[in-house]
Structure 1
Amino acid sequence: MPMIDRLLPIGLLLVSNLFMTFAWYGHLKYKSAPLLLVIVISWGIAFVEYCFAVPANRLGSAVYSAAQLKGMQEVITLTVFAGFSVLYLGQKITTNHLIGFALIAAGAFFLFRAPA
């Protein structure tokens, strides 16, 4: 199987998570914005996210199991979120955050192990 078949779903999930992170958390910098406006804007951003996530999962299902895709997506989400939290929101990542993220990553690791 060509390497692109393995990498394309990961790239698409990465892009989709960038959009989704902004849709869900980007408005936290603009807490004075009306909630209804924030919902509508977030919905529009989430639509773009779906345009990447759905093909990522469709194409990825030819290479990965659904559980592997979900585990991969969670690790990508946490990675994107950690960067977003620090760079965009100006928040710190604590040791407890890193431990929690590592435990989730460990769970994803086991999804890719050969069955026992």
Structure 2
Amino acid sequence: MPPRPPTKPRKRASQERSRVTVDALVEATARILVGEGFDKASTNRIAAVAGVSIGSLYQYFPGKEALVVAVAQRHRHELLSVVRARLARVADEPLAARDRCAASPLPFQREAIARQHRGLAASPR
């Protein structure tokens, strides 16, 4: 069995400039995944689309698998923020309304995915 590729970032971006670089890399990865698929998402392609050097990519991520994990984590955070906002809106509603909201999470997920895809589609390529 071949070894699994590393999926944890090498280091955290602590300064604003480095956070901008990491965000650009994650966004570029998401755009490539959505538009072209996993096989086209090479580290060289991701760095080029993000507008950063390949060295900067490897400073923060060991490979494309770690970037894909970062995209998934970002999506999870966005989904949770949508769910929390929806639940906050119905917090003072009658119990039946809260139950309906809690029992049907799919609209939350569709909304978060649609919001993410709209953002990716609007992003410059």
Q: TM-score, normalised on structure 1?
A: 0.35
Which structure has more relative contact order (CA 8 Å, sep 6+)? It is 1
Q: More helix per residue: 1 or 2?
A: 1
Q: TM-score, normalised on structure 2?
A: 0.34
